[in-house]
Copies of this chain bind each other. A is one copy, B any other.
Amino acid sequence: MAKNNSKEHSRSNAKTKAILEGAMQEFLAHGYAAASMDKIAKAAQVSKATIYSHFDDKEQLFSAVIQDLVKDKFQAVMSLQEHQSLEQDPKQVLSQIAINMLSNAKKDQTFQNFMRIILGESGRFPELAQTYVRSLAKPAIDTLSHYLQSHPNLKLGDSEAAARIVIGTLVYFVILQEMLHGKDILPLENDRLVNALTDLIVKYQP
């Protein structure tokens, strides 16, 4: 039975959990470099030395926090695409998926801060960026691609590329409107984007 990683402590106390939660709060609020171990200790209500008895150093704690967040967000992302029957109207199915994704992403400040960190630190923590790609982006794209591929009413030439188009459109919309605070500069209703997007997909004829 293999222990999982880092130190000998995945004996997962309440302390470990408290540390991870405090660290998550601080990293999400201030980013990696600007988050301090002192503030994390205070947020977790433990001493700094206790943190270092559970995690090797700041980098490893950060890595553990991000991997926890990826796991959390996996549920949320995947649940959006579940239970989609091939018998329903694809225009309605796609619209519903898109609208749910947009409204979820927009109200979830934790998700936006999570994306900020993944993107902002992707140069210094490439393996964490790849964890995001492998565990969140790829499953979302693969699931949607499979749906587009197998629906009898859709005749898309390249379902994988089409899935990239749908998800890229939605994610960049959230980035521009919410994360980059662009909604007053570039206003656009959710419905207009979703309608144009699903129309392009559904009405496509090779």
- Number of chain A residues whose Cβ lies closer than 8 Å to a Cβ of chain B: 62
B residues less than 8 Å from A78 (CB atoms)? none
**Per DSSP, are chain A's interface residues mostly helix, strand or loop, or mixed?**
helix
Known: A171-B172, A193-B164, A197-B165. A185 touches B116 (CB 8 A): no
List the interface of chain A (C-beta within 8 A of B).
Answer: 30-34, 112-113, 115-124, 126, 129-130, 132-134, 137-138, 141, 156-158, 160-162, 164-165, 167-173, 175-176, 179-182, 185-186, 188, 192-193, 195-197, 199-201, 203-206
Cα A120 to Cα B120 in complex, Å, equals: 4
Known: A138-B186, A199-B157. A116 touches B113 (CB 8 A): no
Q: Which of B118, B137, B185, B197 contacts A134 (CB 8 A)?
A: B185
Cα A197 to Cα B167 in complex, Å, equals: 13
B residues less than 8 Å from A172 (CB atoms)? 164, 167-169, 171-172
How near does chain B come to A114, taking the closest CB pair, in angstroms? 11
Q: Which of B118, B160, B197 contacts A188 (CB 8 A)?
A: B160
Q: Is the CB of B133 within 8 A of A182?
A: yes
Known: A169-B169, A175-B119. A162 touches B130 (CB 8 A): no
Cα A205 to Cα B172 in complex, Å, equals: 25
Q: Which of B181, B182, B200 contacts A204 (CB 8 A)?
A: B200
How near does chain B come to A181, taking the closest CB pair, in angstroms? 5
Q: Which of B130, B196, B203 contacts A158 (CB 8 A)?
A: B196
Q: Is the CB of B120 within 8 A of A121?
A: yes
Cα A177 to Cα B130 in complex, Å, equals: 10
Q: Which of B33, B132, B181, B188 contacts A180 (CB 8 A)?
A: B132
Q: Is the CB of A133 within 8 A of B34?
A: no
